[in-house]
Amino acid sequence: LSSFWRITLVVAVLSGAFVLLLEILGGPLAMVVYMLATLAVLNPGRPMQNVAISIGLPLALFLLFDRWLNASIPPDALGLPW
């Protein structure tokens, strides 16, 4: 496989794993894990930037939907506090 298709396949597999993790970890934590893994593939060599984005964006989306828009986010099976 070419590099393009290899990356596409990895991102597709990670996306499928994200859908499965939504049920177990809930929306915010599953998004952090997904973004960390995906950014490690798409933006290699910049771990601090990847961690900042992977934590900052889900936090911002959680605050936007849960606090400001009063919309629900996917619950988790672990009983975490969000």
Give residue for tokens 């964006």.
Answer: 57
- The predicted pLDDT at position 56 comes to 96
- The predicted pLDDT at position 35 comes to 97
Non-local (6+) Cβ contacts of 69 within 8 A are: none
High-pLDDT (> 90) share of the chain, %: 62
End-to-end Cα separation, the chain, in angstroms? 41
Can you give the pTM of this predicted structure? 0.84
Residues of the chain with pLDDT under 70: 74-82
Closest to 76 measured CA to CA, from 30, 14, 7: 30
Q: How far apart are CA 70 and CA 38, in angstroms?
A: 28
- The predicted pLDDT at position 81 comes to 60
